[in-house]
Amino acid sequence: MAEKITPRADDYSKWYLDIVKEAQLADHSDVRGCMVIKPNGFALWEKMQRALDGLFKATGHVNAYFPLFIPMSYLAKEEEMAEGFAKECAVVTHHRLKAEKGRGLYVDPEAKLEEPLVVRPTSETIIWKTYKNWIQSYRDLPVLVNQWCNVVRWEMRTRLFLRTAEFLWQEGHTAHATREEAEREAHMILMDCYRRFAEEWMAMPVLTGPKSEGQKFPGAIYTLCIEAMMQDGKALQAGTSHFLGQNFAKAFDVQFLNDKQQLEYAWATSWGVSTRLIGGLIMTHSDDQGLVCPPRLAPTHVVICPLGKNEEERRASESAAQNLAAALRSLPREEFFGYEPIAVKIDTMYEKQPGFRFAEYELRGVPVRVEIGPKDLEKQACVIGRRDRPGKEGKQFGVPLSSAAAVIRDWLVDIQQSLFNRAREYRDRLTRTVDRWEEFQQEIERGGFLLAHWDGTRETEDRIQEATGATIRCIPFDQPEERGSCILSGRPSTRRVAFARAY
Amino acid sequence: MAEKITPRADDYSKWYLDIVKEAQLADHSDVRGCMVIKPNGFALWEKMQRALDGLFKATGHVNAYFPLFIPMSYLAKEEEMAEGFAKECAVVTHHRLKAEKGRGLYVDPEAKLEEPLVVRPTSETIIWKTYKNWIQSYRDLPVLVNQWCNVVRWEMRTRLFLRTAEFLWQEGHTAHATREEAEREAHMILMDCYRRFAEEWMAMPVLTGPKSEGQKFPGAIYTLCIEAMMQDGKALQAGTSHFLGQNFAKAFDVQFLNDKQQLEYAWATSWGVSTRLIGGLIMTHSDDQGLVCPPRLAPTHVVICPLGKNEEERRASESAAQNLAAALRSLPREEFFGYEPIAVKIDTMYEKQPGFRFAEYELRGVPVRVEIGPKDLEKQACVIGRRDRPGKEGKQFGVPLSSAAAVIRDWLVDIQQSLFNRAREYRDRLTRTVDRWEEFQQEIERGGFLLAHWDGTRETEDRIQEATGATIRCIPFDQPEERGSCILSGRPSTRRVAFARAY
């Protein structure tokens, strides 16, 4: 099995695509830049959605749905938006095809739209156009709405999950009566929803903080982000939360009567995470054996492989497997598992070699694997293996069947924590403080986050990127104030920022 | 409140739109034919999705996601498909806008796509193109995949939820090794998923059976449907399940090696329900006071309105309301409620008149309303009202607070059943057996299903439609075989079919 996967050390990029392909997560489609998310990949996305949706709802948000199409004139209303997205979008210009003998199907020139429609690259414009009807008074505020949907950006270079022309995401769009409340919302989403989800569900540690001016969202006053570190030393922007000020309220004339009966423009935030997170999950935890999936997001938590050379042995093993599965499924529903039963699969592909069967589930990232064979049954026991520690090290032999369900439940919780600890140690090891430009240039080649002083100008940021390929990923909230001088210009700085090469 | 809603007797169509608007379920957008599904409406859709998704998964299906865009040439591959959908589709022809001073944004003529892309009206073609890569051997079968997504059909006349250019739906697409298995799948989905969902969750009784040739899906061998009856006597097609034979396998060359090592084309089904169901739910149960929502799909099950004229009274009422809410939320999780806690809202809008508050929740369709005021508290009791019986009739006074949670839980189950019974009685009353053509012409004016004999020809079906506006909605499975003569042509027939005017 493992030979299907190129080792990370040989070719990281190929390793990634091998995992996506062999764990059957996604595939390229014939439609340029669009992917097919296969059942194994979509099951991951469903678990992510469920958890994130719970976090959004627990913080007072509701879901809604807005049109896929955005009239071209809406995009034009917000200048930075138009500049940021016009260059790469899918444009609907006609509403009919026609068929003709010999010629086949063609676009009917008589069915041209009066105004071209853009397939949404993000929905600020159409949503704020709608909010104009929803918001008249401060009593209508805040509006705390989220949408799960597909969006399209006509990317030239695509990579499965990480960058595709069409992708799935959620986009939150909130409207508030005051600047303070909107800023609080943008921060709350970042820290209490995105950071929590990344760390507690994905087991993926993240830096949190604002982007620099050069990296912010078109139309935002500022952009906050969670930024993760992949195993190859490249950073991944995993989620963003934007404080939009009154830009969209002004562009779409969304004014409300405040409690003093004065007209004011509403204050806005928007925030999103996408199927890109699946790429982040893969690149944070997986190994040369295949996918490694944190238990809280695993579509299947436990696979049980009954073993046996003949019908009789198999029947006995299978019966023990059924009992264990039932015991696992009937454990009390816990918050950790989203109040759902532990998901157990019994594999009975006896026609395949046991080694092949085990390797298959290793490849797919199932967190816990159980083997029950005739020798185990003699002792009323089983063998349990944990995916985060492949090989003998992660195996426990002779686990009594009577206590196996409880042991496995505890292992699942432990695996979640171990994955997070390992990823954080790795990230911390790859995060270095750098004070000299020559050192910066050398160190950036080794990957990871470089914490360095920066003079706060766009010009310096651009020069550093040109020279090294590194960008400012984040101005971390948790960096202390300290006097220093910019790594490139030598000008004074009060705080270190995190540089890295990035996806 | 009720004056916001046009009575059904005055103008049924306006009544429907009033409910959609006043219960804040959806709104037209500025984008032609596209709706905005507002939070109250989307919450309904989420409950529907959750329940349907559970039924699909319990019957072995998994979710996946396929591209939004379909190359024009794919549509051309299946002739009936092309004919059926080419006339009304959104066509993407360009991938870039350009901005120019003075001219603003315009479609960049240099960014024309080599092949136009159609925004999916349904995904058979792109999915079967993909299945070619997935299916080589009988061991790869069956493929049991479902997708939740948006689709676009350029409808000229739209009505919120019932017919919109963009709508949300699920589309199942399965591939099988044998005709029998595929036919079994199409029937199973209809009866065990769609019929069950309509009747047990939506409390909406449905006829089940095949469509006539004239009403089937383009590209299907036959189409099975669930067909519901609305309060105005018009039928609503609520879900369809198609047996597609080998049509798509042949169009996209999906062959597999069977267990005798022979190449065969795969057998297909597809099936879907959409946000149209929300329209069906509204038109099945609602009344002149507003939305009526079956408890299993209600986003909020119970609203508690504490009452009081002063601070002290309100504090006491609110404290009792909090206790009751906690008792309701901590009831054991039941399958009936999707293993989720009962959803309770406490309304503290004291600045509004109690009558206004009650009417608001009546309008929104919350199944159970609880009032707790000072007089109730003297007796440690509350007043409970059920939405399916507006006014005094549905109220119970002096319910002890100590047993209120249990009473309410039982009411919710009872309301679900009562709504179904009422809808079925209504539907049955509007279903008549008709044997003479003059009678048919008169009776069709009164609405409802007319069970009549039909000679099985497309020609007769078309003539009946021209003469009366009625179509064959369904050839019900449960109609007995009986000899008869066609209502129009007089030719022999062996079975009655259900005619109606329809949405």
Distance between CA atoms of B171 and B189, rounded to whole angstroms? Answer: 12
Only one residue has tokens 């029950």, namely A372
Distance from CA of B88 to the nearest CA of A (A): 5
Tens-place pLDDT, residues B197-210: 999 999 999 999 99
Q: Test A67 with B35 for CB contact under 8 angstroms.
A: yes
Q: Test B29 with A130 for CB contact under 8 angstroms.
A: yes
Query: How high is the pLDDT of residue A1?
Result: 47
State both tokens at A338. Answer: 């989203």
Answer CATH for B300-409 from 3.10.310.30, 3.40.50.800, 1.20.272.10, 3.20.20.10: 3.40.50.800
Under 8 Å between Cβ of B488 and B438: no
Using a CB-CB cut-off of 8 Å, the residues of chain B touching A329 are none
Using a CB-CB cut-off of 8 Å, the residues of chain A touching B69 are 31, 34, 90, 166
Query: How high is the pLDDT of residue B157?
Result: 86
Task: Tell me which residue of B394, B368, B501, B375 sits closest to B443, measured CA to CA.
Answer: B501
Query: How high is the pLDDT of residue B438?
Result: 97
Distance between CA atoms of B26 and B268, rounded to whole angstroms? Answer: 35
Categorize the per-residue pLDDT at B187 as very low, low, confident or very high, splitting at 50, 70 and 90: very high
Choose among A35, A72, A339: nearest Cβ to B105: A72
Q: Test B97 with A27 for CB contact under 8 angstroms.
A: no
Interface test with A, best of B38, B47, B70, B92 (most A CBs within 10 A): B92
Q: What is the CATH number of domain A2-90+118-285?
A: 3.30.930.10
Distance between CA atoms of B214 and B218, rounded to whole angstroms? Answer: 10
Query: How high is the pLDDT of residue B81?
Result: 77
Using a CB-CB cut-off of 8 Å, the residues of chain B touching A43 are 62-63
Largest CA distance in chain A: 83
Choose among B29, B96, B154: nearest Cβ to A87: B96
Can you tell me whether residue A469 is helix, strand or coil?
Answer: coil
Count chain A–chain B contacts defined by CB atoms under 8 A. Answer: 198
Using a CB-CB cut-off of 8 Å, the residues of chain B touching A58 are none
Q: Test B104 with A76 for CB contact under 8 angstroms.
A: yes
For chain B, residues classed under CATH 3.30.930.10 are: 2-285
Using a CB-CB cut-off of 8 Å, the residues of chain B touching A106 are 72
- Quick check: B1 pLDDT over 60? no
For chain B, residues classed under CATH 3.30.110.30 are: 433-500
Under 8 Å between Cβ of B276 and B161: yes
Q: B101 vs B64, which has greater pLDDT?
A: B64
- Torsion, Cα of B291, B154, B86, A39 (10° steps): -50
Residue in chain A lying closest to B72 (CA): A105
Choose among A43, A83, A105: nearest Cβ to B72: A105
Non-local CB neighbours of A213 within 8 Å, separated by 6+ positions:
A458
Q: Test B105 with A150 for CB contact under 8 angstroms.
A: no
Fold (CATH) for B433-500: Translation Initiation Factor IF3 (3.30.110)
Interface test with A, best of B28, B47, B65 (most A CBs within 10 A): B65
Choose among B36, B82, B87: nearest Cβ to A67: B36
Choose among A34, A86, A91: nearest Cβ to B93: A91
**Which neighbouring-strand residues pair with B371?**
B305, B383
Tens-place pLDDT, residues A337-369: 999 999 999 999 999 999 999 999 999 999 999
Using a CB-CB cut-off of 8 Å, the residues of chain A touching B339 are 333, 339
Q: Test B166 with A339 for CB contact under 8 angstroms.
A: no
Query: How high is the pLDDT of residue B125?
Result: 95
For chain A, residues classed under CATH 3.40.50.800 are: 300-411
| % of chain A beyond a pLDDT of 90 | 93
What average pLDDT score do residues B350-368 get? 94
Choose among B76, B92, B168: nearest Cβ to A104: B76
What average pLDDT score do residues A153-163 get? 92
Q: ipTM of this predicted complex? A: 0.96
Q: Test A88 with B96 for CB contact under 8 angstroms.
A: yes
Using a CB-CB cut-off of 8 Å, the residues of chain A touching B150 are 68, 149-150
Q: Test B68 with A152 for CB contact under 8 angstroms.
A: yes
Going from the C-alpha of B322 to that of each of B305, B316, B319, B327, the distances in angstroms are: 11, 10, 5, 9
Interface test with A, best of B61, B95, B129, B145 (most A CBs within 10 A): B95
Sign of the CA dihedral B347, B353, B357, B358? Answer: positive
Q: Test B62 with A73 for CB contact under 8 angstroms.
A: no
What average pLDDT score do residues A148-154 get? 96
For chain A, residues classed under CATH 3.30.110.30 are: 432-500
What average pLDDT score do residues A492-497 get? 95
Choose among B64, B96, B117: nearest Cβ to A42: B64
Distance between CA atoms of A303 and A370, rounded to whole angstroms? Answer: 6
Non-local CB neighbours of B289 within 8 Å, separated by 6+ positions:
B1, B2, B5, B359, B362, B363, B390
Task: Tell me which residue of B140, B81, B167 sits closest to A38, measured CA to CA.
Answer: B140
Q: Is B161 left (phi over 0), alpha (psi -120 to 50) or beta?
A: left
Q: Test A31 with B98 for CB contact under 8 angstroms.
A: no
Using a CB-CB cut-off of 8 Å, the residues of chain A touching B99 are 76, 82-83, 86
- Quick check: A420 pLDDT over 90? yes
Can you tell me whether residue B392 is helix, strand or coil?
Answer: helix
Computed over every residue of chain B, the mean pLDDT equals 96
Choose among A36, A65, A107: nearest Cβ to B37: A65
Distance from CA of B141 to the nearest CA of A (A): 14
Interface test with B, best of A21, A79, A89, A97 (most B CBs within 10 A): A97
Using a CB-CB cut-off of 8 Å, the residues of chain A touching B71 are 30-31
Question: Half-sphere exposure of residue A349, counting CA atoms within 13 Å on the CB side?
Answer: 14
Answer CATH for A300-411 from 3.40.50.800, 3.40.50.300, 3.90.1150.10, 3.10.129.10: 3.40.50.800
Q: What share of chain A is helix, strand, coil (3-state, %, to 5)?
A: 40, 30, 30
Instruction: Encode burial over A307-344: b for 16+ CB neighbours within 10 A, e otherwise.
Output: bbeeeebbebbbebbeebbebbeeeeeeeebeeeebbb
Under 8 Å between Cβ of A154 and A43: no
- Torsion, Cα of B445, B446, B451, B452 (10° steps): -30
**Which neighbouring-strand residues pair with B303?**
B345, B369
Q: Test B91 with A89 for CB contact under 8 angstroms.
A: no
Using a CB-CB cut-off of 8 Å, the residues of chain A touching B129 are 30
| Beta pairing class for B143-152 and B263-265 | unpaired
Using a CB-CB cut-off of 8 Å, the residues of chain B touching A119 are 68, 92, 119
What average pLDDT score do residues A382-409 get? 95
Choose among B72, B99, B130: nearest Cβ to A97: B72
Using a CB-CB cut-off of 8 Å, the residues of chain A touching B174 are none
Q: Test B69 with A90 for CB contact under 8 angstroms.
A: yes
Query: How high is the pLDDT of residue A82?
Result: 79
Q: Test B166 with A67 for CB contact under 8 angstroms.
A: yes
Question: Which amino acid does the sequence have at A481?
Answer: E
Choose among A89, A145, A152: nearest Cβ to B96: A89
Q: Test B36 with A66 for CB contact under 8 angstroms.
A: yes
Fold (CATH) for A432-500: Translation Initiation Factor IF3 (3.30.110)
Tens-place pLDDT, residues A221-231: 999 999 999 99
Q: Test A96 with B83 for CB contact under 8 angstroms.
A: no
Residue in chain B lying closest to A153 (CA): B95
Q: Test B75 with A62 for CB contact under 8 angstroms.
A: no
pTM recorded for the entire structure: 0.96
Query: How high is the pLDDT of residue A85?
Result: 85
Fold (CATH) for B2-285: BirA Bifunctional Protein; domain 2 (3.30.930)
DSSP state of B477: T
Categorize the per-residue pLDDT at B2 as very low, low, confident or very high, splitting at 50, 70 and 90: low
For chain A, residues classed under CATH 3.30.930.10 are: 2-90+118-285
Choose among A62, A98, A106: nearest Cβ to B43: A62
Categorize the per-residue pLDDT at A79 as very low, low, confident or very high, splitting at 50, 70 and 90: confident
Choose among B29, B45, B98: nearest Cβ to A86: B98
Distance between CA atoms of A225 and A474, rounded to whole angstroms? Answer: 7
